[in-house]
Chains A and B, each alone.
Chain A
């Protein structure tokens, strides 16, 4: 347990020292919410304030930066540089090493979400209509399915060079096809089945319904099977294909 706490502290410290990671995980989403907030401050879409649509989309984007981009690229980098190899010579357990990374990413997700919601409420009139606990549970399920996806990707990415483009492609696909910035109804019909299969779409829909419409578990539960499916599937793939060297 002490070692796990040590690993979490280490991962957090290392994260805070990476300027680039800090920019993409914290500064960039804040910039987006401020920009979109200013553009659509007083707009309403279909009778609901635009911010109610925009804020969850940016939260999902931010969560994906942390859980997919940072996880996949960071894991590949540490593996290819031989960090894992060196650590495997010490008594440190692999579960503790990965556990520390997962907890660290999850803490970052909570901080990102809290900051974005606070800005949305304070400056752009956003409201959280639904149950905060439910919001947190759904966010957590979403974050862990993206984390599983990040680790699964790391297993398939061969080297540091391809880590960036591959994780970027996945990230952008999930962001745009998952309706982070515009409703999928505006996309060509043939893409809809693809969108419906993506975890980002269901996390977006669930968060929007809870935040903007005050929906409860009864109204959003049907979004969860796809998220849980991705969580289970990617976890299995990650465990099977994860490479330490």
Chain B
């Protein structure tokens, strides 16, 4: 197996605060690797060190076998980066910007091919300043793709996008995935990671606290299904813990999540319990467990707090 990115014991401190704490992982060729976590977890700092935008305090980074601390110029030829906010000149046209960036690299893909890839063909002659947020984001992906990179970095590619624009970006990433592009993706949208990533590392306070395929991450926590509801009665979680087939209970204020392998039997029990105790259960829903639940389980906090 080809290892494209190898990160070992990466650490970065800011004013005594440890932003990234001994993070290690390896990414294989063709893999979509996700770094998930809330804002401030250290995802962006981690990828920016691999992109050589920031210098790590300690640890090592290898991209395609090249030591990033020594071969910055070589690494730049091999990677494509979409920053969280990419701005280029306002008064440059879309196709011009792609041409311009293509000229910076030793090898580059034809501009038309890139425009097709990100579905910006109809905007090729528009000025950057006239693009919508979603279109700007797709242009940022285009600029990251001009050199047909060995590794593509996407830092929160869909943050702040409306659902339609988000789906467009997902489509692009899925097409790249189909062609075997290696991608590092950071996100705080769990559904995004579940949908796109082969493997995901969950980051919290600068550390990777779990790393596996989304499926395994969920399976390992024994969180197969989730029965969610709120109750205004102020009951303790123990009462739900005692219900048969309930493996775990998580509580977030008046909101409870019962994890189980048999959602239907738990629902029946729950209905009986509420009748007996006169509980007022509201907004009940049953769903498959998600990475969101895994995060809550691992950290005791919700992801988007």
Chain A interface (Cβ < 8 Å from any Cβ of B): 2-3, 6, 10, 13-14, 17-18, 78, 81-83, 85-86, 88-92
A10 with B76, Cβ < 8 A, contacts A82-B87, A83-B87, A91-B105 known: no
> Which residues of chain A come closer than 8 Å to B89, judged between CB atoms?
14, 78, 83
Once A17-B91, A86-B88 are accepted as A-B contacts, the answer to whether A91 and B100 lie under 8 Å apart by CB is: no
Question: What does DSSP make chain A's interface, helix, strand, loop or mixed?
Answer: helix
Which chain B positions have C-beta within 8 A of A14? 89, 91-92
CA distance A122 to B77 in the complex (A): 53
Please tell me if the beta carbons of B85 and A91 are within 8 angstroms of each other in the complex: no
B154 CB to nearest chain A CB (Å): 13
Residues of chain B within 8 A of A90, CB atoms compared? 76, 101, 104-105
Sample (12) of A-B pairs whose CB atoms are under 8 Å apart: A6-B100, A13-B92, A14-B89, A17-B91, A81-B87, A82-B87, A83-B87, A83-B89, A86-B88, A88-B53, A91-B77, A91-B104
Q: How far is the CA of A153 from the CA of B256 in the complex (A)?
A: 58
Q: A78 to B89, alpha carbons, bound, how many Å?
A: 8
Instruction: Give B residues with C-beta under 8 Å from A.
Output: 51, 53, 73, 76-77, 79, 81, 83, 85-89, 91-92, 96, 100-101, 103-106, 143
Number of A-B contacts (CB under 8 A): 48
- The answer to whether A89 touches B81, judged by C-beta atoms less than 8 angstroms apart, is yes
Report A-chain residues with C-beta under 8 Å of the C-beta of B85: 82
Q: Hey, which chain A residues are within 8 Å of B73, CB to CB?
A: 91
- For A13, the chain B residues whose CB sits under 8 A away are 92, 96
User: Known: A88-B53, A89-B53. Contact between A3 and B86, CB under 8 A?
Assistant: no
CB distance from A112 to the nearest CB of B (A): 21
Taking A88-B53, A89-B76 as contacts, is the C-beta distance between A18 and B91 under 8 angstroms?
yes
Name the contact of B104 in the complex, choosing from A3, A18, A81, A85 (C-beta under 8 A).
A3
Sorted from nearest, which 10 A-B pairs have the closest CB atoms?
A17-B91, A90-B104, A81-B87, A92-B104, A89-B81, A82-B87, A91-B76, A6-B103, A91-B104, A86-B86
